[in-house]
Amino acid sequence: MEFHQLTYFLAAAQTQNFRKAAELSLVAQSALSRQIAALEDELGVELFTRKKKRVTLTAAGQEFALHVRSALEQLQEGQQLLSELQSGHRGTLLIGCIESLTTAFLPTLFASFHQRYPHVGLKVRVHHTDELITLVEQGEVELGLILDPRLQSELLIVKELFRQPLHLLVAAQHPLAQMQASGVTLEQVTAEPFLMLDETSRMGQITKRIFAQRGLVVRPLVEIESVEGLKEMVRQGIGVTLTLPALIRPSQVDSDLVLLPISDLREEFIFALVYRRVGSISRIAREFITTISQQSEASVCGSTSS
């Protein structure tokens, strides 16, 4: 039983005329008649009653037609699905992301991507930057959204998305919150109860490096692994912390938290997308790279201006 035999059969069932069926199928009538006869021989049953130029389905033919239509419809759906997978319109994308970007950056990004590709799913693994780099190298995730990529790897491509300077994050009721225009100095920061992420995170490593490079001593009141826990402590007025605007949800700024520029710190830190150089990445991943390249600058501008 072959595909073309089934399409000839359905054409004949629809037209009840082998000549018209042959015209629809773009084959000679004799070829169509032979193929339908071969199908009947294979099945061991007559599918048509032949009367002069007119043919009608037998009871067996009517039953078989129902199954053939269903089978061809499913086959067509399968072909469409494969086409969409190939074009990047269906499937699941596995990415890695640092924790802070999962709340402040990734939702807006994926919302934009989802509008274009509504049948593509997303699985997100949340880790620190160094762990994500390893996962991408090992092929366990296709893409990684990371901060401050300090690596030299022949296996990976690092695509810079945007850069930002450090800011001081304080509660909206904090006395320093009034200094948004002029900013604060790092020395002023050391006089405040200081909270920070621990050294397993890139943000924690950056914070300690910045103070050490300037010979400033800071004794953290709290070191914590949780980004959301850190922000909540700042919101409650327990202390202040250094952060980057892209790590704070726009809805949090001004209502609960205030970002203050640091007047004597001009260094900017890179947010990047990392993926494997060797081997191919999926079409879905490539479409996501295109979307993130288009959206990252606009999203960050929104977070800093809020």
Q: Provide the pLDDT for residue 190.
A: 93
Give the torsion sign (CA, 51, 54, 60, 61). Answer: positive
CA distance 224 to 199: 9
Query: Is residue 262 domain-shared with residue 278, that is, in the same domain?
Result: no
190 and 114 in a common domain:
no
Contact, 21 vs 31, CB < 8 A? no
Whether 300 and 222 share a structural domain:
no
Residues 133 and 253 in one domain: no
Residue at token pair 């419809």? 73
Q: Long-range pairs for 288-294 at CB < 8 Å and ≥24 separation?
A: 288/93, 288/95, 288/113, 288/143, 289/143, 289/159, 291/109, 291/112, 291/113, 291/116, 292/109, 292/113, 292/145, 292/161, 293/159, 293/161
| Domain span including residue 134 | 90-162+270-305
Q: Is residue 147 domain-shared with residue 288, that is, in the same domain?
A: yes
Q: In terms of domains, do 178 and 252 share one?
A: yes
This prediction has a pTM of 0.64
Q: How many CB atoms lie within 10 A of CB 104?
A: 24
- Give yes or no: residues 15 and 76 share one domain: yes
**Do residue 211 and residue 297 come from a single domain?**
no
The CATH number that applies at residue 130 is 3.40.190.10
CATH number at residue 68: 1.10.10.10
Pairing between strand 90-97 and 195-197?
Answer: unpaired
As for how many domains the chain has, the answer is 3
pLDDT value for 196? 96
pLDDT (0 to 100) of residue 302 = 47
pLDDT in tens, the chain (306 residues): 888 899 899 889 988 899 999 998 889 999 999 999 999 999 999 999 988 778 899 999 999 999 988 887 777 656 555 555 555 566 788 999 998 888 888 888 888 888 888 888 899 999 999 899 989 988 899 999 999 988 766 678 888 888 999 999 999 999 998 877 778 999 999 999 999 999 888 999 999 999 999 999 889 999 999 888 999 999 999 999 999 998 887 766 767 899 999 999 989 999 999 988 766 678 788 888 888 877 765 544 444 443
Q: What is the pLDDT of residue 83?
A: 54
Both 261 and 184 in one domain: the answer is yes
Which pLDDT belongs to residue 205? 92
